[in-house]
Each structure stands twice: as structure tokens, then as C-alpha cells.
Structure 1
């Protein structure tokens, strides 16, 4: 009888660990969804499943350098330097002062959210939903909707609104569900003003410390409810 009671307690304790870690994982996903914009996908995909290290031990981890940067934060830096090293950049030759000078350019896609923090404004989303294949939101329409070029967080005045030339695409997922995606593009080259690609840095969402404060109460409540 004693062994059965002990086994039952061990099972409850193990279930508590698993349930607590599962809860922690769902809270991390929620934090990423509410505090990040387009990069929330990168963060959420980097959250591991529940990893049990033993009957009463386990963890959830965040994999990858970029997701770790989103979690912990990072200082300001010039993105153009990284683009210059990209294997996807296109090499070109320019005629400058009678000489052929090598150069490069790269087109950067930006995907815009349709819900949650940082999502598309209602007017822009409504207009974008009506786009057919090959169509885009032109500058005149975007200005009429009230969106002019803004300044970046680093203080650079953009030449276009971030909604200029937005296109609509349809992506089909494994479940065969089709969803509209909204993209804009920016061009960077060796001739671009360095200030135009100065990233202001990011303080990090610090989701793990926040979630860790919640899991102790969850574990206590779960254990109390199942004993």
C-alpha cells in the first residue's frame, strides 16, 4: 500500500513538472506575440518543446542566436554592414567619372502583421485586402490614407512611407489553410546613406524572467488541485 501511495505521489509530482513547463512554454509564446512584431515568428519557432531531464526535472529552452538577441536585447548597429556580406546581394558595375566601379544592391522584404501589436492600420489593411496579383498600394493612395514618410527610431527621414508599394500574397500552409500576407520592400546598396540602415537597438522582451515568476504559483495551484 505504501509503495502504491508513493508511486501515486511521484506521478502527481512528475505531472506537475510537465504541466508547469507546458504552461511556461505557452506563456513565452504569448509574451512573444504581444511584445514582438514580425520577429515574433522567429522567437516562437525557437522555443523548444518540453524537455524532461528526469521524472521530476525538465526545462524549456530558446534556440538560436537571433531569438536570444530578441530575448536579452542588443545595442544599436549599422545593418548595412551585414547586408554587404550577404550571399544574396546582387553585384553591379557603375560608370563613375569615366571608370567602371563595382557595387552591389539587395532587396529586403518586410512582412506586416494583420493583428496584434504593430499590426497594419485599419485603412491600409482594408485597401491592401482589395489588391489583386501584380497590384500594389501606390504612393498617392497611401498619402490619401494619411501615411507620409516618417523618421526611423534612429532619426533618419525615410524617402517613402513604410506602406508604399505594399503587395498582397497568399500563402498556403501544411494544413492547406490559405492566408493573405502583406509585404513591402526596401532597397539597400553600397551607395545607401549609412544612417538609413542604422538600427536603434532593442531592449529585449525579457520573457523568461517574467514567466519564471508565474510558474511557481501555477505549480503550487496544480499540485494542490491534484493531491
Structure 2
């Protein structure tokens, strides 16, 4: 898997260091590199990957849906190849897909090829796909409207009774007929001409327990489903990594140069 990374390092001063340090360690510069790597580069990348609005080259974008894997990968992706270089990286496939964008595609074949797919009495494959919905203001997943949340929070809990592969449920309350968010695909959408059979939140249930609540809907896909029903439009690239570099570059360089100047002063080589 390709790795995406960002480095913080002392800019264009290798020769100066070689002449001045004479084997000395430059402790202030090293501390500045470490701080810039973790407090600026890594912290900013995590913020962007968690759904904060990103400013980049005069425009703005936001990553609407994330996976915990992507953020955890950035949190774990920290190393210092030497005293004067820090690196933050991610090996998350989700992060790579965000950076490169995704082509339009039919999701039906891959979903029906999943090991979770089952075969019905009619010999046709089917799969039940869960969709999780955030509460109003959520940044890490699509947030439901306030009017829907007002209904959802008052639902009785649904619970899982047995684990996979024979998972069963005890169903509680459910949002019934509701056309909120119902879509008809038009224009360049690969599913143009298809209209959803129900609203986005129809059938929504509340699962978990107080303090650890999840709101989900479940949609059934089968071999008999319309060819256009699970077509996903193209997703444009979102250059999070370049945005991190652009938006932290000056601060990173200032921190490191200040550390270097402190080392020069400690060696008696700084200016007035």
C-alpha cells in the first residue's frame, strides 16, 4: 500500500549545520522539529481527517464521511528518521482514496460478492447494508436533520440478540414512513433516472444504550434490485495532505528556525 507522508525538517541549512555544529547535537532545533511535527502537522492532519473545514489554495472542502481507521493511522503514523527530521504518515486505504478521488461505479457486484451476502429461498443473492447517521452537528458522519433527531432520540432501543453469522435482533421503536432526504438522480449521475423507494431516514432505529447510542437504517440489496439503484457518482480528489502542508508551512519553518537560532546563540554564534 502506498504511504502518504508529510515531513518537517530544517530548511536548506544542511551545510551550515555541518560547519557549525561540529558534532554538537542542536537540542533546541531537535525539540522544535518534534514540536512542529506533532503539534502542527499531525494535529492539523487529524483535525482535517475528522471532518473540519479545510482551506486550500483559495477554496474550501470538507471530508464528510471518515473511518476511525484513517484517523488512527495518522495518530500512529509518527516517526523521526533523524534528530532534525520529523514525519507524519498514513497507510490508510481510506486516506488514499480521499486524496486520489474515486471513479463512478456500480456498488452492486462488490456488495453481493461480500461474504456477508446470503442466498434467499428463490436462489438469488441478497445483503442487508447498514447506514449509520450522526446527531446534529456531527463531523465524522452525515448528520440527520434536527426534526428527524427529535423523533429518533425518543425511540425505544433495538438490541442485537446474537452475533454473526446468525445475527438476530430485538427491534424497538422505528421511524416509519418518511420521505425526508428522498432522492431522484438526474444529470451526470450514473444512476440517473432512478428514484429512491423511501426517504433516507425511513426505518431508522436506535441501538446501543444510553450514553453509547447509534442511529442506523438498513437497506436490502439483491440480484433483483434495479441496475441503477446502487450506482455511486464520481468523488473528486480532496488534497488533505497538501492542505496540511500549505496551512502549516510558515509556522513549521518559524518554529524550527527559532530553535536553530537558540542553538546558534548557545554556541556563541548568534547575532545581536
TM-score (ref. length: structure 2): 0.68
Name the structure where helix makes up a greater proportion of residues.
1
Aligned partner of 1:31 among 48, 54, 64? 48
Matching of residue 58 in structure 1 with residue 86 in structure 2: yes
- Per the alignment, residue 207 of structure 2 pairs with 169
**Counterpart-to-counterpart distance in 2, 1:40 and 1:217:** 30
Give a deviation string over 1:43-66, Cα, whole Å, max 9, x none: 323323321112112311121323
Say whether the 8 Å CA contact 2:36–2:256 is kept in structure 1.
no
Which residue pairs with 1:126 in the alignment?
150
**Are the equivalent residues in 2 in contact too, given 1:43–1:70 (CA < 8 A)?**
no
Alpha-carbon contact 1:106-1:188 (below 8 Å) kept: yes
1:157 counterpart (177, 181, 195): 195
Indicate yes or no: 2:74 matched with 1:41: no
Q: Which residue of 2 aligns with 1:12?
A: 28
Equivalent in the alignment of 2:109: 81
- Of the three residues 87, 97, 109, the one matched with 2:130 is 109
Look up the match of 2:118. 90
Aligned residues: 207
| Structure 2: stretches of 5+ with no match in the other structure | 1-19, 53-61, 158-171, 263-272
Relative to 1, partners in 2 of residues 1:72 and 1:221: Cα closer, same or farther, differing over 3 Å? Answer: same
> Which of the two has higher C-alpha Rg?
2
Structure 1 range deviating more: 118-127 or 29-38: 29-38
Structure 1: stretches of 5+ with no match in the other structure: 95-101, 173-177
Q: CA deviation at 1:20?
A: 1.9
TM-score, length of structure 1 as denominator length: 0.80
- Is 2:54 aligned against 1:21? no
After superposing the two structures, state which structure 1 stretch, 189-198 or 13-22, moved more. 13-22
CA RMSD of aligned residues (A): 2.5
Report if the CA contact (8 A) 2:69-2:92 is conserved. no
1:203 aligns with 2:236: yes
